[in-house]
Chain A
Amino acid sequence: DVKVTQSSRYLVKRTGEKVFLECVQDMDHENMFWYRQDPGLGLRLIYFSYDVKMKEKGDIPEGYSVSREKKERFSLILESASTNQTSMYLCASSTDRVGTSPLHFGNGTRLTVT
């Protein structure tokens, strides 16, 4: 089974802090994704990556950046956390490009910014 591991289940940070959310997958997948999930809004794509050191903006990249230095690891960075970034963050990976294979998700990091 594919395993996507997010390092923290719960995080509480203060406004203005720099926040790192880490994600590791163990299936040698090329593609990795970061989503946020909010009640009533569903899943929204923040950033994705199809290769090491490669990144593409999703639908809501503002206030976020990402890093992919190794194939198995994809980090989401909140440069200066704000209260509207309180959310559930989900990392996912896939073998092939979107549209050809399913995404496999981690169990999420629930971030609260106070």
Chain B
Amino acid sequence: GESVGLHLPTLSVQEGDNSIINCAYSNSASDYFIWYKQESGKGPQFIIDIRSNMDKRQGQRVTVLLNKTVKHLSLQIAATQPGDSAVYFCAESNYNTDKLIFGTGTRLQVFP
């Protein structure tokens, strides 16, 4: 398959366990954050977003946590499945810019 990164950090988890993927963002003025999932050979797929007036948001099997004090974002995946294997990356922006800044990504590997 195609690789989106040569030396991405990798998180290996057992099927059924919970996964936590972390992201440190760079700009204290960022007020909107997004998590994407990218499977091999596909484009990034939107998972969940969060605004800076929140510190937690839940979706289906996923939770995003935002800690503005330390500029840290995390994605929690409950009951990880083989189909969750992919590269995950965060993105940050704010309303005053036209730019979405992407992190470099973390590869999630799920083993039986």
Contacts and interface: CB of A to CB of B under 8 A. Distances in A.
Contacts of B93: 98-99
Nearest to A59: B99
Interface of B is mostly: loop
B78 to A, nearest CB: 21
A98 B99 contact: yes
A78 interface: no
Interface in B92-112: 93-100, 102-105
B8 to A, nearest CB: 9
A45 B99 contact: yes
Nearest to B102: A43
Given A102-B49, A108-B43, A110-B2, A40 B7 contact: yes
Interface in A78-114: 88, 90, 92, 97-100, 102-108, 110
A100 B98 contact: no
Interface string A12-34: 00000000000000000000000
Interface string B20-48: 00000000000110101000011111100
